[in-house]
Amino acid sequence: MAFHLSAVSIPLGSFTLSVHPLFESLAYFTGYRIYRRQRRLAGDFLSSADRLWIVTAAIAGAAVGSKVLGWFEHPMETLAHWNDPLFLLGGKTIVGAFLGGTALVEWTKLRLGIHRRTGDLFAIQLALGTAVGRIGCLLAGLDDRTYGTPSNLPWAVDFGDGIPRHPTQAYEILFLLALTPLLYWFDRRPHREGDNYRMFLISYCAWRLVIDFIKPDPRWFGLSTIQWACVLALIWYSRDLARILFRRPLTNG
């Protein structure tokens, strides 16, 4: 027996508004409020102007990265609609947003001559903000395409087409809610600058590498495009993970 959950929308006269953009907006608001609180409590070695550059780079890189990886997630559809601006602007992925934002921030830091790591203020806000956003994905139903493969488990969800599926959006919400206190605990322990953000990014990429095996996305040599992106990110940060796990001496180099 599956739970039934069709796309949820809000009627506005002759129009209907999906709840998905509402939860996306709430996710941004939640993340921003947590960021402001973290910066106030923990302090910030960056000036307000430099921090603004970092935040701007993170937003711009996330926007570009989410779109580009989204295009490669379903390449045949992208090729079929390459001249449709609405289609090209519609797709996005969270993994692409995180990796694109990280990459552009690192480039911006090089341009500004900033050699210290700047990501720790974003770790907890990204975890909680993403959890809030995933509620919108869950309530968006089939159109969001973030559901899992068919399942006979008692908690499987029928999103409106009569097929019970893994509610992978709910799985991710639970994962992020469990990860948040771990990030908070890690942030209160002695650690190298930037390691809390790295722990978040490594944990999220590892999670997506595993959970996306039960998503119906096209696969290339056994993995989806998002999974391959996660593999590359985990390889890139493997030395950081080993250092964190084995608690190597602290330096800020």
Q: Cβ distance 6 to 160 under 8 Å?
A: yes
Angstrom distance (rounded) from CA 53 to CA 168? 34
Q: Assign residue 113 a region: left if phi > 0, alpha if psi is -120 to 50, beta otherwise?
A: left
Give the amino acid at 70.
G
Angstrom distance (rounded) from CA 249 to CA 24? 39
DSSP letter (8 states) at residue 3: E
Q: What is the DSSP string of 100-116?
A: HHHHHHHHHHHHHT--S
Angstrom distance (rounded) from CA 188 to CA 21? 34
Angstrom distance (rounded) from CA 218 to CA 241? 29
Q: How many CA atoms lie within 13 A of 196 on its CB side?
A: 25
Q: Cβ distance 70 to 92 under 8 Å?
A: yes
pLDDT of residue 248: 54
pLDDT of residue 83: 77
Per-residue pLDDT of the chain (253 residues; tens, 9 = 90+): 677 787 777 776 667 777 888 888 889 888 888 888 888 887 888 888 999 999 999 999 999 999 999 888 887 788 877 777 766 676 789 999 999 999 999 999 999 999 988 889 899 999 999 999 999 999 988 888 899 999 999 999 999 888 999 999 999 999 999 999 999 999 888 888 899 999 999 999 999 999 999 999 999 999 999 999 999 999 999 998 888 887 654 444 3
pLDDT of residue 210: 97
pLDDT of residue 251: 45
Chain-centroid distance of CA 234 in Å reads 15
Site of tokens 């180099």 = 253
pLDDT of residue 87: 65
Q: Cβ distance 172 to 20 under 8 Å?
A: no
Residue 81: both structure tokens together: 């609609």
